[in-house]
Amino acid sequence: NAGVMQNPRHLVRRRGQEARLRCSPMKGHSHVYWYRQLPEEGLKFMVYLQKENIIDESGMPKERFSAEFPKEGPSILRIQQVVRGDSAAYFCASSPLAGEAGANVLTFGAGSRLTVL
Amino acid sequence: KNEVEQSPQNLTAQEGEFITINCSYSVGISALHWLQQHPGGGIVSLFMLSSGKKKHGRLIATINIQEKHSSLHITASHPRDSAVYICAVRSYNTDKLIFGTGTRLQVFP
């Protein structure tokens, strides 16, 4: 069990480009969370997804940001037309389905560090 | 006021000292997590608590549900314990994790 896999670990983009960050949850986990950590700041919730469904996106900026968790493949956090203020570490975490054994267990990925030049 | 408050924000200690980090929260929770983040590193889950006390090596975590308070203790601290320690609660209503701002711990030899 490889744990939560995030890629790329580091991504450099120029202003106006698109950034795509991927997260493969732990085997057997059906819920994915994305968090952002700005430099010298704490973690902030962005979005909570299960397969093919966004459960809570109240932490997502209204524009340029989107997330999906398709039936097959990893969850993707997409940032269009990146700006310097998007430079941050983006962490993904996964958990089992609520109500299943260990439902509150949360496993974090190593994070993807986005730098916008 | 943040829904999850940690104290202190910064903490320095000499190797061997006993360390306590506190976390208070104001929402109903289904679980509380203590996380560790090393500089430039990923996040490791240390404990998940819904009641009582847990111990792992030199780390002890306690939670008082009635008082909405949790503590993380490190016994016989070591420089390798230097990291940011983050308290996070899972909201009972929304199932969302709410994070404290973290406590930056530095342990000097």
A91 has a pLDDT exceeding 60: yes
Q: Percentage of chain B surpassing pLDDT 70?
A: 99
Top-ranked range on mean pLDDT: pick from A33-42, A44-53, A72-81, B95-104: A72-81
A98 touches chain B (CB under 8 A): yes
Look at residues B46, B101, B106 and name the one whose alpha carbon lies nearest to residue B72: B46
A103: left (phi over 0), alpha (psi -120 to 50) or beta: alpha
Q: Residue A70: its pLDDT value, please?
A: 93
Average of per-residue pLDDT across A74-93 = 96
Under an 8 A CB cutoff, do A42 and B43 touch? no
Test the A interface: residue of B95, B98, B99, B101 with most A CBs within 10 Å: B95
Q: What is the pLDDT of residues B20-31, one digit of tens each?
A: 999 999 999 989
How confident is residue B38, by pLDDT bands cut at 50, 70 and 90? confident
Mean pLDDT of chain A: 89
Of A48, A105, A110, the CB nearest to B42: A110
Q: Identify all chain B residues contacting A58, using CB atoms and an 8 Å cutoff.
A: 96
Which residue type occupies A37? Answer: Q
Look at residues B8, B23, B2 and name the one whose alpha carbon lies nearest to residue B103: B8
Average of per-residue pLDDT across A87-93 = 95
Top-ranked range on mean pLDDT: pick from A32-46, A71-85, A92-106: A71-85
